[in-house]
Amino acid sequence: MLSRILGALSLLLAASRVAADASSYHINAICTCDQLMRWYNWTSGVWQDYWWESANMMSGLASLSMLDSNYNGTYFDVYANTFLVAGHTFGYQNFQDEYYDDEGWWANAWLDVYDLCQNPSYLEMAISLFNDIHASWPTVCGGGVYWRKSRDYIASIANELYIHLAAGLANRVPSDQKQTYLDAATAGWDWFWNSGVVTSDYFIVDGVNQTTCQPTGSIYTYNQGVILGAAVELYKATGNSTYLDLAGKIADAVTTPNSTLTSASGILEDGCDRQDDCSGDGEQFKGPFIKNLGKLQLVRNSDQWLNFITTNAQSIWNHDLNITNNACFVGDYWAGPYEPADASSQSVGLDALVAAYAVTK
């Protein structure tokens, strides 16, 4: 009882100290999360009208709750509601749609929610999505999964999510089922690194052209991120630190100031940030990078990554925030200036604050 009262007190304190300072990552994450929830639609089961992005938003709630036991349980009704209604809102059964990457976002998010709630339905949903994505392996380029069911492109992101999911399942299913998922994850990883999408300086291009089997496309933050989380899951499943060595090279490349995805002052930015034209999709990319960099930092400490995560979380609070009536709105441009937030920019800010909270806790 006492701990419940103390818990309630600390929540009250948190609510009244929204802007205490930029390094109060825990309090700032709670205020950011509270505003994100004001965009949740109980009828549709998603945030505003975002589909795959809502998977990441749901994962953000679960990630905060994992770190703060006062928040375990807070959003159980949200997960249950989304589980029941979100797919139907968009006309899909069991979160299966035309795009394998959408399915991968949802499946990995259900694993995060499963870790928190331990509800087996969420694990089963992730498995059913894995089976649907796995049915597209191998592509005509010697392995990998397609971007979408029309099989006209092989996207890096769909493959990273697939490896992450397979390794994540290997770590969560009963031990007699582990090997199947581990085999899928290692085959996915080996194919990915041989496909040509990873450049010699450890940036990842958008995908592989299924006509030429050659790597193609631009460099985005989310493609640098999901593979880090996949490496952490593979490391946990095998104890093989080679996965972390390779992930570390990608993380080092991105977190170097004045590089392909990072400003001279060390702030993460996609091409669309630099051109000031991120849409809902592009707005969402930075979140998976910083979230997964945080996971890597927790298993392999690097001062450069730690500094990067906290620098970005502080920049959000100092330059990319609008506090109105004690509600914290986070815009898309982490270096500022603030531009009006929506659920997508908000959830990406939450990912950064939760990552900073996790690595400094």
Ligand X SMILES: *[C@@H]1O[C@H](CO)[C@@H](O)[C@H](O)[C@H]1NC(C)=O
* Contact set with ligand X (CB under 6 A): 41, 43-44, 66, 69, 72-73, 89, 116-118, 153, 209, 211-212, 216, 240, 242, 258, 264, 322, 324, 338
Quote the DSSP letter at residue 335: T
Q: Which two tokens stand for residue 231?
A: 């490496």
Write down the least CB distance from residue 147 to ligand X, Å: 10
The CB-side HSE value for 324 (13 A sphere, CA atoms) comes to: 6
Residue closer to ligand X (CB basis): 69 or 131: 69
In the complex with ligand X, the residue whose CB is nearer, 116 or 197, is 116
Q: How far is residue 213 from each of residues 65, 190, 284, measured CA to CA in Å?
A: 42, 16, 28
DSSP 209-252: -TTT--EEEEE-HHHHHHHHHHHHHHHHHH--THHHHHHHHHHH
Amino acid identity for residue 81 in this structure? N
Residue nearer to ligand X on the CB measure, 131 or 204: 204
Report which DSSP code applies to 99: B
Q: How far is the CB of 103 from ligand X (least distance, A)?
A: 20
**Nearer of residues 131 and 241 to ligand X, judged by Cβ:** 241
Contact 219, 201 (CB under 8 A): no
d(CA 309, CA 278): 21
Backbone angles phi, psi at 268, to 5 degrees: -70, 135
Nearer to ligand X, 32 or 131 (CB): 32
Q: What is the CA radius of gyration of the chain?
A: 19
CB of 64 to ligand X, least distance (A): 11
C-alpha of 359 from chain center = 16
CB of 89 to ligand X, least distance (A): 5
DSSP 69: G
Least distance CB 88 / ligand X (angstroms): 10
Query: How many other CB atoms are there within 10 angstroms of residue 33's CB atom?
Result: 26
Nearer Cβ to ligand X (175/324): 324
In the complex, what is the shortest distance from the CB of residue 67 to ligand X, in angstroms, rounded to a whole number? Answer: 9
Q: What residues pair up with 99 in beta bridges, in sequence order?
A: 148
Q: Which is nearer to ligand X, 73 or 138 (CB)?
A: 73
Tell me the three state secondary structure of residue 155. strand
Phi and psi dihedrals of 220, rounded to 5? Answer: -125, 150
In angstroms, what is the minimal distance from the CB of 338 to ligand X? 5
Task: Name the residue nearer to ligand X (CB basis): 3 or 258.
Answer: 258
DSSP-derived letter for residue 260 is T
For the bound state, the minimum distance from the C-beta of residue 207 to ligand X, rounded and expressed in Å, comes to: 8
Q: Which is nearer to ligand X, 192 or 222 (CB)?
A: 192
Find out whether 163 and 137 touch, Cβ atoms under 8 Å: no
Measure the CA–CA gap between 273 and 270, rounded to whole angstroms: 5
Question: Whole-angstrom distance between the N-terminal and C-terminal Cα of the chain?
Answer: 25
Nearer to ligand X, 94 or 209 (CB): 209
Q: How far is the CB of 352 from ligand X (least distance, A)?
A: 19
CA distance 70 to 3: 9
Q: How far is the CB of 285 from ligand X (least distance, A)?
A: 20
